Chains A and B, each alone.
Chain A
Amino acid sequence: VTATAWELAVLPEPVGTPSRPAAQQAEVVVHGPLGDRYRLLRLVAPHVAATCAPGQFVMLTAARDGEHAPVLPRPMAVYRTDRDAGTIEVCYGVVGRGTRRLASFRVGESMLVVGPLGRGFRIDRTWRSVLLVGRGIGTCSLTTVAQELDGSGVAVTTVSSARRPEALIGGSVYRAHGARAVHEVTDIDGTSAPAALHDLLVADLDAEPPAAILTCGSHRLVRLSEQLAQHWPGTDVQVSVEAHMACGLGYCHGCSSGVVGGMAEDPLVCRDGPVFGWRPRADRP
């Protein structure tokens, strides 16, 4: 079996009524560094906090009220929600025009938030065990899974991967929400290498393999998840995909996932994802 025999696949629609997106002017209540590589932004966004499912995302407009650029809002995974306080958190790295502008927002200012958007991870509270594997900022798509499963009885094992220890994120959230194990691995000490991680996770989970592996942030970790799913037959793989977006809703077709479905235009990362299955390729004519 070769790695190229696996591909992204659209998952069935989540069970239940889909949350409707709303646009809200959200006050910034916390904004500062997270590790040495990312920034954490906490916003008052009660609609998103109340209705966002793990793995869904929001669009943040970096243009201030009265400004018209940057023209495109930035898609951001929801890192943590607090329904009681009506707040959400997102994390981002400052990499370009939009995130530089986002970084300039001060506590007390407001920014436009649209969400929740997309289809999140398909989580089953009857699972005995789940494995979350994230790298870099991709970890932010996974933390709300641990939050959702806190107290459910599902054993949550997590991997946070980063170049350096100072860039690791997510560990404190996972621990706060009762993860049974938090593996923090880095390039510096070699623990993030797929072969090393494979051995670590097999040793940790062979006694009770996870029902699902949920991953985000690295193609190498998708391939690792695939190898682990082959090692543990019956284990499902779901991957959250990143893409450039304009609308976040599906009408602009800016984020066609391309590889899925061959020549057909569907599916879109924003509307049909960002969470897809990662499956052995179905035979197609």
Chain B
Amino acid sequence: VEELSAVPEGAPPDLSVRLGRLTLANPVMPASGCFGPELAPLLDTAGLGAVVTKTVFSARRAGNPADRLTDTEYGMLNSVGIPSPGTAAFRDTLLPAYRELGAPLVVSIGGLAVEEYWTVADELRDSGAAAFEINVSCPNLEHGGLTIGTSPEMIAKVVAGVRDRVDVPLWVKLTPMLHGIEVVARAARDAGADALTVSNSFPALGVDVAGRRSVLGAGGGGLSGPAVRPLALRLVRDVAAAVEVPVIGCGGVCTATDAAAFLIAGASAVQVGTATFTRPDTMTSIVDGLAALCRELGVARASDLVGTLDQERS
């Protein structure tokens, strides 16, 4: 058993975490699609470990038909469909606003086909991103998305092509809908992924009984929020056990305690999505709460929690 670092009296806990060659001031960042520069007046964005953009496609694309989202028991169903201004408009308008937020910028990149991911990487090569997060797991795209995200061969092709084009750290955001998530995790790592985000929302359906139709305009959607947290924790544990690259946990994180649970399960950082809708300053509360929680748990560094799940009971 590794010794935990001693806690110097009165010193603030060190919240910094390493994700491969990237070091973040703390492990808290938004989940792609659940954050934007519009939030700047409502939370301390510079105090986040990183900020993550909505997924950018090369060409401008519209999202899915209304209704795009709804509340469900302890979570949210959405089928927004990743509308994107395209890389050109993204660079002109959104990118400068994101860069003003004062935290390392992670650009989420998307594609409807393998080659589009490569194009986006080319087009955003000089965006100043601290990392790219490759989104191969949106459940709400008409093509790509799950088709790519469930195939180790296609993930490898996407990641290797992006790796050839850019030097920034690459994170790959995995779908939860796999028989063995370890297989795609290894494929992504072998193709050059520096970290893996586990995971995207869970394909789901809500039924309007009176209308006998889906509650969402596109039919199915993705489930997120506190309801999926135990599912995501399990996936994080499995991926962290299977591959040595850092894992970024994502799924129902609402509190510092939730974030610590993901760290203990094997994540090196966490993303916060749905909980920012509930309270815009949720991430700030988690950063503050993590410091307090580290003190309570007697650890000097948040990173000391990573992967400390009791093996006898795991």
Contacts from A to B (Cβ < 8 Å) = 20-23, 61, 63, 68-73, 96-98, 112, 114, 243-244, 246-247, 249-258, 263-265, 271
Q: Does B9 contact A (CB under 8 A)?
A: no
Size band of the B side of the interface? 35 or more
Instruction: Indicate if the CB atoms of B68 and A265 lie closer than 8 Å.
Output: no
Pairs A–B under 8 Å by Cβ, sample size 12: A23-B42, A71-B75, A71-B278, A244-B67, A244-B68, A244-B69, A247-B34, A249-B38, A250-B38, A252-B33, A254-B68, A264-B62
Q: Does B73 contact A (CB under 8 A)?
A: yes
Instruction: Indicate if the CB atoms of A243 and B278 lie closer than 8 Å.
Output: no
CB nearest to B69 among chain A residues: A254
- Apart from A21-B41, A68-B275, 5 more pairs, CB < 8 Å: A68-B278, A243-B66, A250-B38, A251-B39, A265-B62
- B247-282 interface code vs A (CB 8 A; 1 in, 0 out): 000000011000000000000000000111111110
Within 8 A of A (CB), among B18-42: 33-39, 41-42
Residues in A with CB closer than 8 Å to B76 are: 71-72, 246
Q: How distant is the Cα of A73 from the Cα of B41 in the complex, in angstroms?
A: 18
Q: Does B308 contact A (CB under 8 A)?
A: no
Instruction: Indicate if the CB atoms of A61 and B80 lie closer than 8 Å.
Output: no
Instruction: Indicate if the CB atoms of B83 and A63 lie closer than 8 Å.
Output: no
Contacts from B to A (Cβ < 8 Å) = 33-39, 41-42, 54, 60-63, 65-71, 73-76, 78, 80, 83-85, 225-226, 254-255, 274-281
Instruction: Indicate if the CB atoms of B42 and A21 lie closer than 8 Å.
Output: yes
The 7 residue pairs across chains A and B that have the minimum distance between CB atoms: A251-B36, A265-B83, A249-B38, A68-B254, A254-B69, A72-B71, A246-B277
Shortest Cβ distance from B101 into chain A, in angstroms?
12
Shortest Cβ distance from B146 into chain A, in angstroms?
20
Instruction: Indicate if the CB atoms of A252 and B277 lie closer than 8 Å.
Output: yes
CB nearest to A262 among chain B residues: B62
Shortest Cβ distance from A270 into chain B, in angstroms?
10
Instruction: Indicate if the CB atoms of B277 and A256 lie closer than 8 Å.
Output: no
Residues in B with CB closer than 8 Å to A73 are: 277-278
Q: Out of A22, A23, A71, A96, which one reaches B275, CB within 8 Å?
A: A71
CB nearest to B78 among chain A residues: A254
A98-B71 in contact given A114-B42, A253-B80, A254-B80 (Cβ < 8 Å): yes
A23-B280 in contact given A71-B226, A246-B76 (Cβ < 8 Å): yes
Instruction: Indicate if the CB atoms of A256 and B63 lie closer than 8 Å.
Output: yes
Q: How distant is the Cα of A22 from the Cα of B254 in the complex, in angstroms?
A: 21
